[in-house]
Copies of this chain bind each other. A is one copy, B any other.
Amino acid sequence: MATIDDVAKLAGVSIATVSRVFNNSPLVSEKARQKVLKAAEELGYKPSMPARSLAMKKTNTIGLIVPDISNPYYAEVVRGIEDVCNIYKYNITLCNADNKREKEFQYIEMLKNRWVDGIIFHCDYFSEEHYKVFKNDNIKVVLAGRTTKFDVPYVGIDNFKAAYDAVNYLISLGHKRIGIIHGPLGDMKETIDSVDRLRGYKQALIDNGLPIYEGFIKEANFKYKSAYNAAKEMLKEKIKPTAIFAISDIMAMGAINAVFDSGLSCPEDVSVMGFDNIDLSEATRPSLTTVSQPMYEIGAVAARMLIKMLNGENIDEYQTILEHKIVVRNSCISRKD
């Protein structure tokens, strides 16, 4: 590969001039610029990024830690991130941490050693430990799809409100016995999706004067099968729910199939509501009524935010809540009883 020296020699100028040309410095004469460009062209020269990174202490790379890229939700977020990074000439280093603390910290360490300019972090729960690591090492980070009480930039949705709205919608349809399939709860003290959504569910019931029945509250792990099993359980109760709110679309699909396999039908006997609005939620049978999260947008906004931070620009709102909305399809119908 041709180096800056080769170009300088061929163009008959110093390496400083070559460097200036490639950095669009105004301090180069048009004549020199042309000579350099011609020589570079001839040699197929492009500046070496590692060398440049070392000299400038900037890698133009953003580290991206997600739980699992094979989950359609994260894949969509990542797509949003990559698209805006690409526009701004940033590159992305992808890491799958499976929500394991150890892997997360390992990756953070590694990204740090690689001098990434910043990190976009996506985990189920942002702990004090996380906060400290980023703080101590002075790593620029933005949380995607997650909110936190710590002083860290984030972009996400209001999970409490989203769940509240979803359940409210079900109630407005006339449902009185509404079950929920939530995710792992952790220690219940922190701001994590599952906890907030469960709170939203309960609050909606309370505000509408409906009772909270523990038999209608089941935990699963965001996988299809676990939700299927949870729904099956729920449908074994003597008094059955008329609606089930699953806090992810994939879990909702599990619930729908559980309904069918329990000899009932959806939405006639049991309405099922999802969460996320992944691509395939319109492809299920019945198609899913769900709470739409702007996944692509979450990624895109997070990336834009981080890049602004890296440029030293001021960001007015560095903790952003994006709008969710209810997407009505065919898995929920109204009820009289």
Contacts and interface: CB of A to CB of B under 8 A. Distances in A.
A250 interface: yes
Interface stretch (A73-81, A147-155, A192-200, A230-238): A73-81
Interface in A281-328: 282-285, 287, 296
Contact of A283 (B54, B59, B91, B284): B284
Contact of A50 (B50, B78, B250): B50
Q: Which of A53, A68, A96, A283 has the largest count of B CB atoms less than 10 A from its CB? A: A283
A136 to B, nearest CB: 9
A16 interface: no
Contact of A75 (B47, B61, B72, B114): B72
A285 B282 contact: no
Range of interface residues on A (Cβ < 8 Å): 35 or more
A94 B113 contact: no
A253 interface: yes
24 contacts: A46-B112, A48-B54, A48-B115, A49-B114, A50-B59, A54-B54, A68-B79, A69-B69, A69-B78, A70-B78, A72-B75, A79-B96, A82-B94, A82-B96, A86-B95, A92-B93, A93-B93, A250-B279, A250-B280, A253-B284, A256-B285, A257-B287, A284-B284, A285-B285
Shortest Cβ-Cβ A-B pairs, 10 listed: A253-B283, A70-B79, A50-B53, A285-B285, A49-B114, A75-B75, A94-B94, A46-B113, A50-B54, A70-B75
Interface of A: 46-51, 53-54, 59, 61, 64, 68-72, 75-76, 78-79, 82-83, 86, 91-96, 109-110, 112-115, 224, 250, 253-254, 256-257, 260, 279-280, 282-285, 287, 296
Given A224-B282, A284-B285, 7 more contacts: A46-B113, A48-B115, A50-B54, A61-B93, A86-B95, A91-B114, A257-B287
